[in-house]
Amino acid sequence: MRRARTVTSRARAGARVLAGAAAVAAVLVGCAPGQGAGSGSASGSGDASAAGRSSAPTRSSAAAPPGTAPTPTPDGTLLVADFGSDTVTFVDPERGALGSVEVGTAPYGLAVGADGRAWVATAEGVAVVDTRTRERLALVPYATDTGPVTTGEYRGGGMGIALSPDGGRVYVGVNVPGGNGTLEVIDTASRKVTGTVPVGRRPFDVDVARDGSEVYATDHDSFDVTVVRADTLDPRRVEVAPYGTEGGLGSWLKPHYAVVRPSDGRLLLPFEGERLAVVDPRTGRTEIVPMTADTHQHGATITPDGTLFVVGTGPIDPSEDEGPSLTVRAPDGTERVYPLEGPHEDVAVSQDGRTAYVTGGFTRDGWWDGITVVDVESGGTRRLAAGERPLGVAVL
């Protein structure tokens, strides 16, 4: 493993990348730009409003024609959130896209319950999709004012999203451009927002304790995780900044995604392919352990046996850092790092743990419209066209 660079070296690398930006908005950049990938362009109804969209069921090319019985979606089908459009796409992991369902502008994260319903965080609200019949059942508007509905990395609306273990509640992190976000609680039976909690800036990810007692919002732009008690909705902030907070909103060294470790309930947050923050959410104490990929990291997931999968999006500084990759980290800390072609964002794993699906959407420039399928044993990869700038992904 390369020796981890100092905080100062990492900060300087970020500063060199940002130095060429002329607009004031560029100071708010929080993630490394894509390297070595074909670019795409985001699309969607940027002038749409939540009030102007119907919450009635919506059908699309993925649904059965009227008057015919729908063909159930096969187990193992992938569902991806099309951040560059207003749809989710159903994907056969061998053959590619099966069809799409309109859900709302710029969908980001998604969570699927045992009942087959997917909850999708969009710029307009949380869409409810029946994955078996492939139709949108409802669109739950946010209680938080997020301003005009737009697209792109800094758009307002839902980002991270998770279900409670009993399936009774949905927790969605809502971004408020220019300010702190909120965690909204949705009752899955009534499909209504029943509570809101203040959290940090840009809640990239939301996770839930295995017993459902706590909810964790990973707040990208405020260097923290907001720990929320599920019963009282009382929040408390835990700073997670293994490189420090120097640079503020302009820093690249922020938390992105977290996972809950099955063995002890601690949160695992990867940083830069160099440091893994292991956070005890009850005490707020953080232990830092080394990683080996040496690349800017985003999406993460963990399997029931504790194997961690982390997406590397590419270098902050191409002269020093490694390219995009997928890290597979065993419970004992040993890692395999598989190179990927171009930036990626999020990852899901097949039920048998043998295959990883890594989305090419990426929150910054350089995305591509597809998924890289990775054989976990060999590291062999193949590309699969799927959706439009796909971010969130789940295996049905």
In a domain, 2, yes or no: no
In a domain, 76, yes or no: yes
* Average pLDDT of the residues of the chain: 87
Q: What is the mean pLDDT of residues 118-134?
A: 98
Residue 274: CA count within 13 A, CB half-sphere: 22
| pLDDT confidence tier of residue 61, bands split at 50, 70 and 90 | low
| pLDDT confidence tier of residue 68, bands split at 50, 70 and 90 | low
Q: What CATH number is attached to the domain comprising 110?
A: 2.130.10.10
CB atoms within 10 A of CB 194: 12
Report which of 14, 13, 80, 70 is spatially closest to residue 250, judged by C-alpha positions.
14
Segment 332-365, tens digit of pLDDT = 999 999 999 999 999 999 999 999 999 999 988 8
In a domain, 53, yes or no: yes
Q: How many domains does the chain have?
A: 1
pLDDT at 30 over 60: no
Q: What pLDDT does 366 receive?
A: 87
In a domain, 87, yes or no: yes
Neighbouring residues of 118: CB distance < 8 A, sequence distance ≥ 6 = 79, 88, 110, 111, 112, 128, 129, 131, 394
Print burial letters for 16-42: b (CB count within 10 Å at least 16), e (below 16).
Answer: ebbeeeeeeeeebbbbbbbbebeebeb
Q: What is the mean pLDDT of residues 308-334?
A: 97
Residue 360: both structure tokens together: 């090419």
pLDDT at 155 over 50: yes
Segment 218-232, tens digit of pLDDT = 999 999 999 999 999
In a domain, 1, yes or no: no
In a domain, 81, yes or no: yes
In a domain, 234, yes or no: yes
Segment 232-290, tens digit of pLDDT = 999 999 999 999 999 998 899 999 999 999 999 999 999 999 999 999 999 999 999 99
Structural domain boundaries, residue 300: 7-64+72-395
In a domain, 173, yes or no: yes
Q: What pLDDT does 65 receive?
A: 57
